[in-house]
Amino acid sequence: MIFENRNGALVALRSGEKLEIRPWGEDSLRVRATMQGDFTGKDWALTEEYKKTDAKIDIYEEDFWVGDGSIAKQPIASITNGKIKQPIASITNGKIKAVVNFAGVITFYKDDKQILREYYRSYGGTLSKESRCLKTVNREWKGIIGGSEYSLNLKFESNPGEKIFGMGQYQQECMELKGCVLELAQRNSQISVPFAVSSLGYGFLWNNPAVGRVSFGKNYTEWIARATKDMDYWITAADTPKKILENYTAVTGRADMFPEDLMGLWQCKLRYRTQEEVLSVARKYKEEGIKIDQIVIDFFHWTVQGDWKFDKTYWPDPKAMVDELHSMGIKVIVSVWPSVDRKSENFYPMMEKGLLIKTERGAAQTYDYQGDCVEIDPFNPETRKYVWDVCKKNYYDYGIDAFWLDNSEPDYGVYDFENYRYCDGPALELSNMYPQMYSRVFYDEMSKLGKPVVNLLRCAWAGSQKYGNVVWSGDVPSTFEAFRDQLQCGLNMGLAGIPWWTTDIGGFMTDDVNDPDFRQLLIRWYQFAVYSAVLRMHGDRGPYNIPPLDTRDWGGGYLHTGQPNELWSYGEDNYAIMKKYYDIRIEMHDYIKSLYEEAHTNGSPLIRAMFYEFPDDAKCWELQDQYMFGAKYLVAPVMNLNQFKRDVYLPEGKWKLTSTGEIYDGKQTVNVAAPIEYMPVFEHILY
């Protein structure tokens, strides 16, 4: 292996591969490799200016064991750090140090303690007598026949006892990811945000939007990109998860400051079909004395997908509607999908200009719900301009405040990623970044207009937090099992750097709103949502016995609507509970504002894993059924049917149960009452 010092980076050349390790922010390193001579120059999620540090690299020869008992000489590079010189190539940046041996195997150290090492099982592959003849290498490149990309398989040694969190949102029971296999791909309710937080004190970003897989195995960790030109990852070391998130968001971006007038209740359902329905709901809330901050106009208010405009039959005067809502202090958000129906007035102009996703074979179709559709290609700047110009004219200029960017994965009819292509390359190479590029259709233009940008999306990628994205957990079932999954989803999304996260209260898919079990679920979910980033009523509520407004098979009147989904829709007893918790939300306004300020200044999520606030408490690394809402409130959701008490673990300190005012000592598990009217919440007195 040939080592060089190039502008403060350690560069190694071996067997056609170029490897570069460069300081990239506080206590952090960026590692890239390519088989194509030079890097693509894409920074992907690493968009922010980072703190520059210097590195001194020396190149000399060192003895090493060949394998037959003899000793040979190899060129080795080292970096001098104070009076310590490493006998193999290394680069140090504060707490973290990367060491590269003569076979190109990288080992990372935090404060001189090994935290991560690439996996290598080949003859002569280590500096010890533990070499193997398996021919398993740390970075395996395989050229894709007929293409310029490679498939990449990168392996790391597995660390016994290590716990791994983050990585975005996966609909599963597991919050702790060691032993899990995760698809690196976007789907409805699955969000790949490839940043992992380790209990060993490091964070790891797979800075690559390619479709692939990661396996956090017991024997080794394996990252796979199905099509890529570069290997690119970033690693940081810190003493606490909070500092890891601070380092990570310093280089990928942080959320803007969230507007104070959106920290209360958002009202939504599938679906308000007419302008008058929206106004009647808003007027009723005003009569009830409940201030809603935003009302959401869901899908198929349009003529056909891709027209991106109101159907005038049912929305005759959008500006008058918006003006009345604004007069009540209510903002308005409207659904926009990336799908364009062949019947849309925009389909053929966009198809001719190359603004839609292309298929590699077969018909030009990527989506088939309620129409024959092709979805937009937001990697193309001309697409972004076209869609924004249409939406500005048909929505924003009426006073619409924000956009609900649904189906933002995009939701392909079939997730055959190898069959789709964007203007920047094949979907296999880029697709995980689609939701972020879709959000920028709106964020890039709206942010120029001087108002805060808060749009609602169903998907995200690393760095999406800086583009005004409230991310919700997708179309999940209305079950307690799904509810339990959503809590770990939200905690892991926060650990992946996405602080503005929410859910459909009660789940999305409901068969019967009159079922007492569903109503119990709704209340438990609502109580949880009050102690989350965004309080938002939404759901597709059965039974579907409401006749359509229109007999046509297109336009704003033909599609079904769900049952009412306002706070008063579920009986007086439940309404009283929801009003009580609404008042709690409003009373916490200043505190919630302070949490949004934290997200803006240091990247901290609003809902936090217990170990985020108590990293020295081993018990907190085991918990996934309770969480911290900021540093002050410990929240214990009730996530089982007919459960009216539960155990809660209290870390060190003094804790006040908000229902009774009783004070508890920490470092113990307590059993507390949880009647339907109350979800256990403890206030940290020493906060």
- Which are the catalytic amino acids? 406, 409, 475
Residue with tokens 């006040």: 656
Q: Are 308 and 396 in contact (CB under 8 A)?
A: no
Among 493, 469, 52, 494, residue whose Cα is nearest residue 251 = 52
3-state secondary structure of 205: strand
CA dist 544 and 29 (Å) reads 54
Q: Are 50 and 24 in contact (CB under 8 A)?
A: yes
User: Which tokens sit at 94?
Assistant: 């504060």
In degrees, rounded to 5, the angle at the alpha carbon of residue 226 between the alpha carbons of residues 406 and 467 is 35
The strand ranges marked E within 280-392 are: 292-297, 331-336, 339-341, 358-359, 373-375
Among 116, 115, 158, 120, residue whose Cα is nearest residue 138 = 120
In degrees, rounded to 5, the angle at the alpha carbon of residue 434 between the alpha carbons of residues 430 and 438 is 150
Among 441, 442, 420, residue whose Cα is nearest residue 432 = 420
3-state secondary structure of 27: coil
User: Which tokens sit at 107?
Assistant: 């080992």
CA dist 456 and 454 (Å) reads 7
Among 249, 257, 192, 297, residue whose Cα is nearest residue 454 = 257
Q: Are 503 and 475 in contact (CB under 8 A)?
A: no
CA dist 619 and 600 (Å) reads 29
Based on C-alpha coordinates, what's the Rg of the chain?
27
Beta carbons within 8 Å of 539's beta carbon, 6+ residues apart: 269, 270, 478, 504, 505, 506, 507, 508, 509, 510, 562, 565
β-pair partners for 183: 213
Rounded to the nearest 5°, which phi and psi values hold at 440? Answer: -75, -15
Q: Are 31 and 228 in contact (CB under 8 A)?
A: no
Q: What 3 state SS string does 83-135 have?
A: CEECCCEEEEECCEEEEECCCCCEEEEECCEEEEEECCECCCCCCCCCCCCCC
User: Which tokens sit at 466?
Assistant: 């800086």
> Residue 161: how many CB atoms within 10 A of its CB?
7
| Straight-line distance from the first to the last Cα atom of the chain, in angstroms, rounded to the nearest whole number | 53
- DSSP code, position 38: S
β-pair partners for 541: 510
CA dist 321 and 300 (Å) reads 17
128-143 b/e (C-beta count within 10 Å ≥ 16 → b): eeebeeeeebbbebee
- DSSP code, position 522: H
- Cis-peptide, bond into residue 6, ω within 30° of zero: no
CA dist 437 and 83 (Å) reads 47
β-pair partners for 356: 376
